[in-house]
Structure 1
């Protein structure tokens, strides 16, 4: 994947506006460093945002109408409530019509498929988390997942061990469970 090298932006040069938004959020989260809390973003149509909030035009950079009328702007939401399970929190969200989509960036520990086969069946909850945290093959990852109201989805995964923009994996099916949970925030 190629990133724009201009000094004024870190926006990726990709075809789909959702992919650009996902990578923009990933880059933002990367700039904050690791060991960060989950962050939730509303995704709004940039052209519409310019019309409704003209005072933000300078912060948004060049007018996307010159490039892509479907460009998306991520708007970070308030911090997630502490000590609330992510799935419970997502179940409480309802977005206004002006929100085209949403995205979440979250850090987790993951195991390769070979290690998942050795997970003791009797473990659950905190015991399972501790087992994964102590496993020698664990990988720390940052996942950025986004969905649009129309069901379009995309995601980016960054390994802490390969923390470079050129090493970010993207794809619509990388984190399907989280994408499903985000999509459910648009269901009425």
Structure 2
């Protein structure tokens, strides 16, 4: 910046979106339970709308959340879904989900094992054709395998955010965030919100 420039006109970084903050909060919340957790599923509702529908909710929310909701009409509240069935295939679960109109979005957190594409090709070459369980065990045992926790949030209007934490860099400051980190999972979750 030149010495004559007005500091009030300096560019500022954009304020994080309500969805970005919510996905980051959900991931941090789930991280407190450690690794090896089952899939976690959350309904996302605009806090201001929820307060309009249920004024008694104001007594159950912390004061800072009420202040944030008053200041930001896009502020979201996450509601964890209890009794999510344990399924072997995430696509199967997501294919069965549908959200009522009062839900503005959905989020999920799931743990996966990632390996570089070359390692996956190598494992596919040495495992028998349809032996998915054997392939999964071989991938998990691969020296380049990395445990990751993936959090994805999607709104009905199409906005989406992701957060990915690796076990080898298990700290809040090392969580990767971005809208398009796991597009397949974003698309599958978005499909649960289709009318």
The alignment's TM-score, normalised by the length of structure 2, stands at: 0.83
Paired position in structure 2 for 1:7: none
Paired position in structure 1 for 2:133: 126
Paired position in structure 2 for 1:21: 22
Equivalent in 110, 115, 121 of residue 114 of structure 2: 110
Asked if structure 1 preserves the Cα contact closer than 8 Å seen for 2:48 and 2:70, the reply is no
Paired position in structure 2 for 1:164: 171
Paired position in structure 2 for 1:78: 82
Deviation at 1:132, TM superposition (A): 0.8
Long gaps (5+) in structure 2: 1-13
SS at structure 2 position matched to 1:95: coil
Measured in 2, the distance between the counterparts of 1:65 and 1:173 equals 26
SS at structure 1 position matched to 2:157: coil
Measured in 1, the distance between the counterparts of 2:90 and 2:138 equals 20
Task: Describe how 1:13-162 pairs up with structure 2 within 5 A.
Answer: 15-61=16-62, 62=64, 63=66, 64-121=68-125, 122-123=128-129, 124-162=131-169
Asked if structure 2 preserves the Cα contact closer than 8 Å seen for 1:39 and 1:79, the reply is no
Aligned residues: 176
CA RMSD of aligned residues (A): 1.8
Deviation at 1:14, TM superposition (A): 5.2
The alignment's TM-score, normalised by the length of structure 1, stands at: 0.86
Paired position in structure 2 for 1:10: none
